[in-house]
Amino acid sequence: MNGANPVEGSAGTVGAEPSVGAVDHAALSHVFETQCNFTEAARHALLAGDARRAASLAALGGDNDVCRAAMDALVAQSPREQVLAAAVDLSARGFHIHAGQLFERADSPIDAAVAFLAGGDAVRAAACYERAGRPADGARALEAAIRRSPDREGQHLALGRLLARHGKIEGAVRAFQQIPPPSPDRVSALPDLLRCLQMLNLHEAAREVAAEMRERGIPETEPAPTSAAPRSVSQPPAKASVPPGAAARPVLYGRYEVVREVAATPHARLVEAIDRLTGERVAVKTFSTASEGAGRDAWLRFEREARALILLRHPHVVPLRAYLPESGAMVLAWMGGGSLADVLAAEPMAPARAAEIISAVLAALGEAHRLGILHRDVKPSNILFDEAGSPHLSDFGAAHLGDLSSTATAGAIGTFAYMSPEQRLGRAATLASDLYGAGAVFGEMLTGDPPAPGAWTDADDRNLLPSECHPDVSTAHDAVYRRLVDPNPENRPADAFEARRMLTSVHWPARIAPRNEARPRAPSARPTAKDAARLVLSLSPPPGATGIDGATMARDTWMERDVIVLPLNDAELDRARAFARAGHASLPLVLRADLAAQQIWVAPPLGEPLRKKALSLTRGQLRRLREAVQALHAAGGAHGHINADHVYIVSGDVTLVYPLAPPSPDAARDDVAALQALEHP
């Protein structure tokens, strides 16, 4: 028999050998099967074109080469459904490993994992679980296999590498350390163990592993640190071993080889890096406290972003590869295609491409909202593209209105063009606010400008409509866009999924047309030094306002909103920070803390005070009020003046007015008593 092809050659002699001169391979296959010569039966079944039966017979005969050839033919010649059916046949006959291989090739990793587990191959099962996005199931499978067979060192190696890839460094170290020195797998595990120990700053243990590697002749990809002192984020990272004369690249946390610094802000540094463990290009975002006085608030935002990304796994959200809270770092997938802001600055865009991008953003927002996460800052610079051009939403840690250390609302001004009208008026962001942000970005892609603040009226000619900028766009397209950016949040789609369905219900043209420059662009929302004074006294309080909130009312001419202005001192700044950190929708919104002007700006209440309404609070309103006060207390603050003048009702919802009078020493206790009084008037 020709060993180069397991299905060629003559049949072997078993009993009365059938004639091999005939070309009826199917009949020969059945003859050999009745004689229990399953390998020859498989060869002839394959020559007869019955790859599914050949795979089963070859597995029965224990001939892996013929079985592999049969599976190759099956995958190449048959629809996926038939391949899956053949894998099910193999599994039902007890050939679980062969079934797992076929499930793998049919791109059914979960079925493959189950089959490999049934066949006792936990390593391959774990790899399939990880490929399916379920690494935790893979780790559990390996741990169970290790408990059953602790002497199979390959399972320890696979578990350690899986845990390391997903940031579980301590668990990875424990798995690698279970591999005894005599095992061949120890040689494979030592470089991984060294990197993990360095990431944990366990320098003494790392030096011991490095010494063992030298004894075994294993080259080090990175030397162990020479100092026993723990390395912080701000200390110089370790250097990688490089050939003589080559420029050395810094390595962060013993694993991420820095390629270049991408950006730096007072609170974070972003670098492009290579993950030495996986070879993947990543973005490493490290927390920084370069801005004094804002460290705690900035760290809370950093943590908030990490927690959101841990929960939010979506194809159109920038993936979190690892979170290292002890080092103040996040590792994100690298987005090599740049941002939407870069794309918009370069050239006009086809409406179909714009709709595709916003459809992806809405899908990501829908999943985020389902998990209780509001983005609050949807804008072109927060929409990034991978190398294939797929859009991803980024920066879920934006909380610019809570940064009270800033002397100006830089975050709010920087994203004013994409802020919803209700946010511009000082109200808290909602699900509908995120939809407005997506619509504003969509408008910029279609017209070259996001919508200007103000209502959509025939007399308001500040806003360009898509149909005015592209000859293939109709009023039906305009209607979709206008609903996304409707000034009234109640008129926008009910959620991101409805918005996406509305967007995709219209056919968007694929032709790129030059932008219409006939009409002047909407004026920039950002004021210049020549603008009039920003803050002017209001001539009258808002409708329903009492003397409590009307006496200090002023008009912010830049943002076109009314604000309550309070004198800034240390005590007032601490109190305002507590309100901002609490971040509950029923609490007053702190808009600005201006250290230079010694002012704190707070959003005025909407609606009417409870005393004027002469109504009792509903159970739902009381519950929201209790939740708001509990959030305020948890943030280290207290109201101290909860009564019918400070509780406002707007559209059936309940909000608190910011207290002008200072709180008493027992303000938190006063809050509890006041809530009880409201419950039992």
How many domains does the chain contain in total?
4
| Distance from the Cα of residue 191 to its chain's centroid | 30
Question: 3-state DSSP call for residue 264?
Answer: strand
Q: What is the pLDDT of residue 141?
A: 87
Rg (CA), the chain: 33
Domain membership of residue 362 (yes or no) is yes
Is 323 in the same domain as 351? no
Per-residue tokens: 526: 């950002």
Show Cβ contacts of residue 337 under 8 Å, excluding neighbours closer than 6 positions: 384, 385, 386, 387, 388, 389
Per-residue tokens: 414: 């920087």
C-alpha to C-alpha distance for 277 and 195, rounded to whole angstroms: 8
C-alpha to C-alpha distance for 539 and 471, rounded to whole angstroms: 47
Is 139 in the same domain as 43? yes
C-alpha to C-alpha distance for 288 and 266, rounded to whole angstroms: 7
CA atoms within 13 A on the CB side of 169: 23
C-alpha to C-alpha distance for 410 and 403, rounded to whole angstroms: 10
Three-class secondary structure assignment of 539-569 = CCCCCCCCHHHHCCEEEECCCCEEEEEEECC
Domain membership of residue 241 (yes or no) is no
> Nearest-CA neighbor of 288 among 267, 318, 315, 258?
267
Please tell me the pTM assigned to this model: 0.45
Tens-place pLDDT, residues 211-264: 888 888 887 654 333 332 333 323 333 333 344 444 467 888 888 899 988 877
* CB neighbourhood size of 217 (10 A): 7
C-alpha to C-alpha distance for 554 and 214, rounded to whole angstroms: 73
Domain membership of residue 114 (yes or no) is yes
Q: Which residue, of 131, 152, 180, is where some domain finishes?
A: 180
Show Cβ contacts of residue 411 under 8 Å, excluding neighbours closer than 6 positions: 377, 398, 400, 401, 403
Question: 3-state DSSP call for residue 372?
Answer: coil
Is 260 in the same domain as 367? no
Domain membership of residue 209 (yes or no) is no
The sign of the torsion formed by the CA atoms of 526, 531, 535, 537 equals negative
Is 320 in the same domain as 425? no
Task: Quickly list DSSP for 154-221.
Answer: HHHHHHHHHHHHTT-HHHHHHHHHTS-TTSHHHHHHHHHHHHHHHHTT-HHHHHHHHHHHHHHTPPPS
> Nearest-CA neighbor of 286 among 262, 306, 270, 266?
270
- Burial of 461 per CB tally in 10 Å (0-12, 13-18, 19+): exposed
Any idea what the CATH number is for the domain that residue 567 is in?
Answer: 1.10.510.10
C-alpha to C-alpha distance for 26 and 366, rounded to whole angstroms: 55
Domain membership of residue 136 (yes or no) is yes
Domain membership of residue 243 (yes or no) is no
Give me the phi and psi of 88, to 5 degrees please. Answer: -65, -40
Q: Which residue, of 180, 202, 229, is where some domain finishes?
A: 180
Q: How far is CA 669 from CA 158, 358, 385, 647, 666, in A?
A: 56, 48, 51, 18, 5
* CB neighbourhood size of 256 (10 A): 26
Q: What is the pLDDT of residue 558?
A: 64
Q: Which residue, of 303, 333, 363, is where some domain finishes?
A: 333
Is 375 in the same domain as 491? yes
Any idea what the CATH number is for the domain that residue 132 is in?
Answer: 1.25.40
Query: Which residues share a beta bridge with 383?
Result: 393
Orientation angle between helical segments 169-177 and 184-199, nearest 10 degrees: 150
| Distance from the Cα of residue 277 to its chain's centroid | 22
Phi-psi region of 28 (alpha: psi -120 to 50; beta: other; left: phi over 0): alpha
C-alpha to C-alpha distance for 443 and 424, rounded to whole angstroms: 18
Helix, strand and coil in the chain, % to nearest 5: 45, 10, 45
Is 112 in the same domain as 260? no
Phi-psi region of 459 (alpha: psi -120 to 50; beta: other; left: phi over 0): alpha
Is 288 in the same domain as 306? yes
Is 37 in the same domain as 165? yes
Is 436 in the same domain as 580? no
Q: What is the pLDDT of residue 533?
A: 58
Give the amino acid at 147. Answer: R
The answer to whether residues 257 and 239 touch, using CB atoms and an 8 Å cutoff, is no
* CB neighbourhood size of 509 (10 A): 16
The answer to whether residues 18 and 31 touch, using CB atoms and an 8 Å cutoff, is yes
Q: Which domain holds residue 73?
A: 25-180
Q: Average pLDDT for consecutive 10-residue bins of the chain (681 residues)?
A: 44 41 71 79 82 81 84 84 84 84 86 86 89 83 86 87 82 86 87 83 82 84 35 32 51 87 76 86 79 56 78 86 83 90 85 93 90 86 88 71 31 59 76 92 89 55 79 91 91 93 91 59 39 54 47 67 80 83 79 76 80 75 87 86 84 81 84 85 63
Give the amino acid at 160. Answer: G
Is 38 in the same domain as 70? yes
Q: What is the pLDDT of residue 35?
A: 76
Any idea what the CATH number is for the domain that residue 285 is in?
Answer: 3.30.200.20
Domain membership of residue 191 (yes or no) is no
* CB neighbourhood size of 590 (10 A): 27
Q: How far is CA 480 from CA 363, 483, 576, in A?
A: 17, 5, 39
Give the amino acid at 643. Answer: N
The answer to whether residues 552 and 569 touch, using CB atoms and an 8 Å cutoff, is no
The answer to whether residues 86 and 98 touch, using CB atoms and an 8 Å cutoff, is no
Is 356 in the same domain as 329? no
Domain membership of residue 280 (yes or no) is yes
The sign of the torsion formed by the CA atoms of 455, 459, 460, 463 equals positive
Tens-place pLDDT, residues 359-375: 999 999 998 888 888 88
Q: How far is CA 201 from CA 393, 596, 677, in A?
A: 33, 43, 55
The answer to whether residues 98 and 92 touch, using CB atoms and an 8 Å cutoff, is no
Is 163 in the same domain as 88? yes
C-alpha to C-alpha distance for 189 and 192, rounded to whole angstroms: 5
The answer to whether residues 83 and 105 touch, using CB atoms and an 8 Å cutoff, is yes
> Nearest-CA neighbor of 360 among 340, 374, 387, 331?
340
C-alpha to C-alpha distance for 15 and 282, rounded to whole angstroms: 64
